[in-house]
């Protein structure tokens, strides 16, 4: 079965709503291929964010620190088997993050996620850019000036 671009966009949006925004990383298998490669640098050893387990590890750390974590797609670009989302991410720092105690502060930053899909409509690769410095500055964990 070959999926269409529209199906790939829908699947990526469902990943965000049903898995990330709902704080249910255990459902990632619905949208991610088991051998998914994550090219984003999360400060983890190479390959640590790959596959279902790697995704659950990365998302779980964010959900623990920011229980109200929410991603909102601002716009979409698609080309063949790739879908690009420009995303706004918000959350409130309620749990330990990067070894830092909760501040109770909120953040809102933007980022880009690029997804590559297989013929079954599952994500096989991910590239991402996230404004980590902006988030840390808004949380008061680094100086912005």
- Domain limits of the chain? 5-138
Q: Give the pLDDT confidence of 28-48 residue by residue, as tens digits.
A: 999 999 999 999 988 889 999
Strands 82-92 and 106-117, by their bridges, are antiparallel
Considering the domain 5-138, what is its CATH architecture?
A: Roll (3.10)
What pTM, to 2 d.p., does this model score? 0.93
Q: What is the pLDDT of residues 95-139, one digit of tens each?
A: 999 899 999 999 999 999 999 999 999 999 999 999 999 999 999
CA–CA distance, 59 with 73 (Å, rounded to integer): 17
HSE-up of residue 2 (Cα within 13 Å, Cβ side):
3
Whole-number Å distance between alpha carbons of 63 and 91: 9
Instruction: Report helix, strand or coil for 131.
Output: coil
Give me the DSSP letters along 51-105: HHHHHHHHHHHHHHH-TT-EEEEEEEEEETTEEEEEEEEEEE--S-BTTBPP---
Q: Phi and psi of 137, rounded to 5°? A: -65, -45
Read off the pLDDT of residues 83-93 as tens digits, 9 standing for 90 and up. 999 999 999 99
- Strand residues in 9-48 grouped as ranges (E): 32-38
């Amino acid at each position: 079965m070959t999926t269409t671009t529209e199906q790939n966009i829908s699947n990526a949006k469902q990943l965000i709503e049903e898995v990330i925004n709902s704080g249910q990383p255990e459902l990632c298998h619905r949208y991610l291929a088991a051998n998914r490669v994550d090219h984003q640098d999360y400060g983890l050893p190479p390959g640590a964010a790959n596959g279902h387990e790697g995704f659950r590890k990365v998302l779980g750390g964010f959900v623990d620190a920011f229980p109200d974590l929410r991603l909102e797609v601002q716009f979409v670009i698609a080309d063949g088997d790739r879908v690009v989302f420009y995303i706004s991410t918000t959350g409130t720092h309620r749990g330990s993050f990067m070894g830092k105690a909760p501040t109770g502060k909120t953040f809102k930053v933007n980022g880009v996620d690029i997804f590559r899909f297989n013929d079954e409509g599952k994500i096989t690769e991910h590239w991402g850019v996230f404004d980590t410095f902006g988030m840390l500055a808004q949380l008061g964990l680094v100086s912005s000036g």
